[in-house]
Structure 1
Amino acid sequence: MEYQNKETVLELKQDNIDSFAKADHYLRSGVHIQNYKSQTRIFQFIEDNYPYLYPFYERMYRAKLSFYQSINGKFYYLDYFDDVKSKLSKESLKPKHTLFAIFLYMLHRIEKRFSTTLSKQELIEVLNNTHKIKPHIHRLFLGAEKEDTVPTQTTLYKWVSESLRELEKLGWVQTLEEDSEQFEILPSLERIALIYADAINNIEEIRTTND
């Protein structure tokens, strides 16, 4: 493989090449890597080789191989430098999915309304009964707060399902293999708090619109 910078060299043992290929693919796809089931081997590879991987991504891709440690666990992710972010074609989370992540974090980590594993319907019931959140959701998708009719709940279910799919691409949640209606919240959901701490701490001041 040819590198743009001749000084950008990453030496790996033969048995680590496959792990690097997978780790590199996930990281550059925006996935957050943690010590969780199918990610365990990749996570351990990054842990063991972090001193070598950090300068590699910094020089090769102008990105910082970052990590965050919380009581829920540790995770790694790539944080591109500002001049690179503006050139990336990969789209970040849409506002409606970002809003979902903020609400999910607030309900789970701050208000502790549910455990790490729950169903979509359980989440919807909590959203419907949280006065801080419900008005925002209705204004965003319905224009104004309305009664909980079947069409209203169908719209809410669609938003929850779409948002979970997008968060799963980032490695923030994981759909259960045995039941696609249930999902698990992963340690890396903490990333949303690192970016939107002010919004999470001031939920009622968030401005939402369906325009």
Structure 2
Amino acid sequence: MENDHIPELKYLDFLKSEDAVTYFGQLDYLLKDGVHFQDYGNQIPYYRFLKKYKDSLNSYYERFFGISLKEENEQSDSYFFLDFNTSSRGNIPQAFRENLKNEYIIIGLIMYKILFLEGNVELVSIQKLKETIRNDYQEFKPGLRKLIAQSTVEKDNFDDDEAIDNSVNRALKQFRKLAWLDYKGDIFEPRASFHRIISIYEDVIPRIDKIIESYT
């Protein structure tokens, strides 16, 4: 009977590691801020820490915050994130809560449609991405304009194309913060975690055309 409590201490296992002192404080902050971690760039040591202690860390977040630490795979790449979508996030301090604006979600879904559903994986130029959204998706422009106007301070008297370009810039900045993609200069690169947008909004993708058109 005296050992009955041992399984409950699983959530403390990761704290026994010296690496916890180095990585966990920053890692915890960023995970709660919605950042996704993968085996890439300066995230590599954090990813390896998550990989090694994922069971213990998951037990910790479930016990104290009522949320799960998830690992998802895209082909040979995996990534970690806190799954707020299966929780009320009620135990996460308000300072850490930041939901994607509707305009970012729609831009992200259009990007997914262009890059993956339509097979334009060679598209790596931000400027070319903007031109593609503006020129090849004319039917979306009225809906995008209205959506952007609802989501930003740019309410009236702005050029449609400039507003869409600015919205793409804002969306890319937010996606980089979440570690869904990276960019430098004009070149962007989606990370494996960009596919997370589909697991969140998988019911939306088949209806994206009608959803955007509904804003007109």
Residue type matched to 2:143 in 1?
H
Within 1, Cα distance between the matches of 2:49 and 2:110?
A: 33
1:196 to 185, 201, 207: 201
| Alignment RMSD (CA, Å) | 2.6
Identical residues among aligned pairs (%)? 24
What's 1:12 paired with? 16
Residue type matched to 2:38 in 1?
Q
Spell out, residue by residue over 1:92-144, the C-alpha distance to the aligned partner (whole angstroms, 9 max, x if none): 001111111111111112112233x622211012112135644532453479x
Asked whether the equivalents of residues 144 and 215 of structure 2 are also in contact (C-alpha less than 8 Å), the reply is no
Spell out, residue by residue over 1:164-208, the C-alpha distance to the aligned partner (whole angstroms, 9 max, x if none): 1111111111122xx2x3221111011110011121122222144
Question: How far is the alpha carbon of 1:42 from its aligned partner?
Answer: 0.7
Structure 1 unaligned spans of 5+: 1-5, 144-149
Three-state SS of the structure 2 residue aligned to 1:206 is: helix
What's 1:158 paired with? 166
Determine which structure has the larger helix proportion and give its number: 2
Within 2, Cα distance between the matches of 1:69 and 1:196?
A: 17
1:42 to 39, 46, 53: 46
Three-state SS of the structure 2 residue aligned to 1:171 is: coil
Asked whether the equivalents of residues 103 and 133 of structure 1 are also in contact (C-alpha less than 8 Å), the reply is no
The 5 A counterparts of 1:147-186 are 151-176=159-184, 179=185, 181-186=186-191
- Structure 2 length as normaliser, TM-score? 0.79
From the superposition, tell whether residues 135 and 198 of structure 1 become closer, same or farther in structure 2 (CA, over 3 Å). farther
Spell out, residue by residue over 1:132-160, the C-alpha distance to the aligned partner (whole angstroms, 9 max, x if none): 644532453479xxxxxx93321121111
1:62 is the counterpart of 2:66: yes
Number of aligned residue pairs: give it: 195
Determine which structure has the larger strand proportion and give its number: 1
Q: Greater CA deviation, 13-22 or 192-201?
A: 13-22
The 5 A counterparts of 1:139-150 are 139-141=146-148
1:98 to 87, 98, 105: 105
What's 1:27 paired with? 31
Structure 2 unaligned spans of 5+: 1-7, 151-157
Moved over 6 A (4+): none
Within 2, Cα distance between the matches of 1:37 and 1:87?
A: 28
Q: Greater CA deviation, 150-159 or 60-69?
A: 150-159
Within 2, Cα distance between the matches of 1:151 and 1:131?
A: 14
Within 2, Cα distance between the matches of 1:43 and 1:203?
A: 33
Question: How far is the alpha carbon of 1:44 from its aligned partner?
Answer: 0.9
Residue type matched to 1:123 in 2?
L
